[in-house]
Chain A
């Protein structure tokens, strides 16, 4: 029971440059990010199975693919 986490852009610096991480399913998006070592408050965009999610409390299910992206520099 796992999910795939794909940090994009600057967020990769929090996971030693890894393109993809396999993490346990059943945690919320926020908990999953913490588990990976990514500060949830820096994540601006979460896409779960190609669907945008704004609620970081949603629980992730087995097989979910999650893409996360930060904003670093602003407009």
Chain B
């Protein structure tokens, strides 16, 4: 099938049975790839109310048409499952070089099913697929595991591995790849750990057929040319996502001490140019990328090297926990990567615990003796280790995520557990940014920024405005941006270099033989968005409006300092935003898609 690997690989870890199925033209037509394939298989194959950490849950890895092809940023694959952190839908996009090798091995999806009775890793070398003993790898860090498997099989093999956090099924465990790229959010690493699957070692050398090779080459090169000619390529490459640290600090979006403010008095030492000067030794890109945004850093104080930190980690393991030294933040980043836990959720959990400790709600006994004050770097490192090991009272408490921790502790701590749908909010403070607020509230994995990054739109049109245009913008972004997670590519070439998105249309047509305009792609994006909503409704009893609520911090507690001092979103505006959103989506007042909406999107068969 043109533009695709052609095969869905099923690996049953309970029985050891490995099955190859053809990717059907109907699946490609209706769901395209990536997270589209993920939600399709999840909805169709995983039983209702499955225990996310039970053998019935499936972990689905999917490439898309752009993966491994002549497309700038075609290095992304998507990991989908029922989330152990939220109980609902989860997908996590991972960069690096795994997806290209997966495509060259002929694989559009790998569906991991069941649970092995002992630790194993999955070995894939083109047609050869085996489950092998991982007892010697179990207990190792994710990076050490990658080093070991690369030594054993050679550099061409791409490795994705969990660390102890995944083995211990920390609910926000991640999957690490390429020494510093992750499928990070929603606990995909815990699901991999629950299957006793330590790693995947993968190598592919096959070809992918395309519908029109000449047009394919021409369209691909046009995209690369547009990237290379972008006048912001140099600056974007130099700083990557860290370029936004100073900007967020300036406009009050930098999460500070558990989101009590949006500007950090120690922020200047975390800015991108400071990091570049002090610790960055080289740039690092994913497969086929002309603008390598990854930064590889040398931490002299610790004698370590790490890819990163990226903006989100600087926000959540820097300002949000009160750390102002970039080497400390980068070392915390490295610990999370190697131990295999999501640095965003880890930062959110630690910041919540620090606030509870400083308020006297968490005692020193409950922190296992740690002086868990904001800015205490040793306490941050120790807490990360405890979480990954589920060790002691503190590690056990935080390994379940902020929502569960606050429910357990009570005493008002739920008011400052900064999560939506159980997922810790990523690194944008939204005290007065209503487009970003509704984006977080309605994101289909929980409080994550990647679906609709709308905060500059807030600044362009007026940050406290509550108008239908803002909601419409967020909805459009929710269809458009995640389309890159469907196509198996990176959105940053469009997002930051600003290349013309229409350049992708002839490339996709030349590859697959099917012409899709962006309007067509956005319709598929809308269909997928509604399907993930239906998945939540199916899995979570009583799911609806109450699950779309933000932390009260953003509508009851104006920051005392910084750029947003004294500013707050009115509580009634939060609900007004939701009303507008549901109406524009064709959902009822409880956030459930109406029958006519499902009919329009051809989703009636999935109605809950």
Chain B residues whose CB sits within 8 angstroms of the CB of A45 once the complex forms: 235, 239, 243, 246-247
Instruction: Tell yes or no: A42 within 8 A of B by CB.
Output: yes
In the complex formed, the residue of B with least CB distance to A71 is B244
Chain B residues whose CB sits within 8 angstroms of the CB of A9 once the complex forms: 230-232, 496-498
Number of interface residues of B (CB under 8 A): 34
Instruction: Tell yes or no: B299 within 8 A of A by CB.
Output: no
Interchain CB contact under 8 A, B273 and A52: yes
What is the number of contacts between chain A and chain B, taking CB atoms within 8 Å? 72
Chain A residues numbered 53-75 whose CB sits less than 8 Å from any CB in chain B: 54, 56, 67, 69-75
Q: State which of A8, A42, A43, A74 has its C-beta within 8 Å of the C-beta of B449.
A: A74
Instruction: Tell yes or no: A21 within 8 A of B by CB.
Output: no
| Stretch binding the partner chain, chosen from B325-333, B391-399, B455-463 | B455-463
Once the chains are docked, how many angstroms separate the CA of A43 from the CA of B495? 15
Interchain CB contact under 8 A, B492 and A54: no
- What distance in Å separates the Cβ of A38 from its nearest Cβ neighbour in chain B? 12
Instruction: Tell yes or no: A39 within 8 A of B by CB.
Output: yes
Instruction: Tell yes or no: B217 within 8 A of A by CB.
Output: no
Interchain CB contact under 8 A, A73 and B232: no
Instruction: Tell yes or no: B241 within 8 A of A by CB.
Output: yes
Interchain CB contact under 8 A, B243 and A41: no
Interchain CB contact under 8 A, A41 and B498: no
In the complex formed, the residue of A with least CB distance to B251 is A41
Interchain CB contact under 8 A, A74 and B495: yes
Chain B residues whose CB sits within 8 angstroms of the CB of A56 once the complex forms: 250
Interchain CB contact under 8 A, B243 and A39: no
Once the chains are docked, how many angstroms separate the CA of A74 from the CA of B455? 9
Instruction: Tell yes or no: A47 within 8 A of B by CB.
Output: yes
Interchain CB contact under 8 A, A69 and B453: no
> Which B residues have a C-beta under 8 Å from some C-beta of A?
230-232, 235-236, 239, 241, 243-244, 246-247, 250-251, 268, 271, 273, 310-312, 449-450, 453, 455-456, 459-460, 481, 491-492, 494-498
Top 8 nearest A-B pairs (CB, nearest first) are A73-B495, A74-B453, A9-B232, A44-B247, A52-B273, A8-B232, A75-B241, A54-B246
What are 9 residue pairs bridging A and B, where the CB atoms are less than 8 Å apart in the complex?
A8-B235, A9-B230, A9-B232, A9-B497, A54-B246, A72-B498, A74-B495, A75-B241, A75-B453
> Which A residues have a C-beta under 8 Å from some C-beta of B?
8-10, 39, 41-45, 47, 52, 54, 56, 67, 69-75
